[in-house]
């Protein structure tokens, strides 16, 4: 039972962190004029020219990544 509660708390905490990052990047994007780039998993796979399995493992859970240059 304790493991289930710990797992649920971890999932809830991680979801909150990802939302907080989205709010922060959106606030920076609104405040400063800059360049916003979006990278999706397929785009990131194109960067893996050597078919490095470590790079594939690194990007496996990424759905969308926002790069903000201000």
26 and 3 housed in the same domain? yes
18 and 37 housed in the same domain? no
What pLDDT score does 24 carry? 78
DSSP-derived secondary structure letter, 36: E
Of 44, 37, 50, the closest CA to residue 62 belongs to 44
Cα 40 to its chain centre, rounded Å, is 10
For residue range 31-51, what is the model confidence (pLDDT) as tens digits? 888 888 888 989 999 989 999
For residue range 58-68, what is the model confidence (pLDDT) as tens digits? 999 888 888 88
18 and 48 housed in the same domain? no
38 and 70 housed in the same domain? yes
């Amino acid at each position: 039972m304790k493991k289930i509660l710990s797992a649920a708390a971890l999932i809830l905490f991680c979801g909150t962190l990802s939302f907080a990052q989205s709010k922060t990047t959106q606030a920076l994007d609104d405040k400063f004029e800059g360049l916003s780039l979006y990278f999706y998993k397929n785009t990131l796979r194109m960067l893996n020219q050597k078919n490095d399995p470590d790079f594939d493992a690194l990007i496996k859970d990424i759905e969308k990544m926002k790069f903000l240059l201000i």
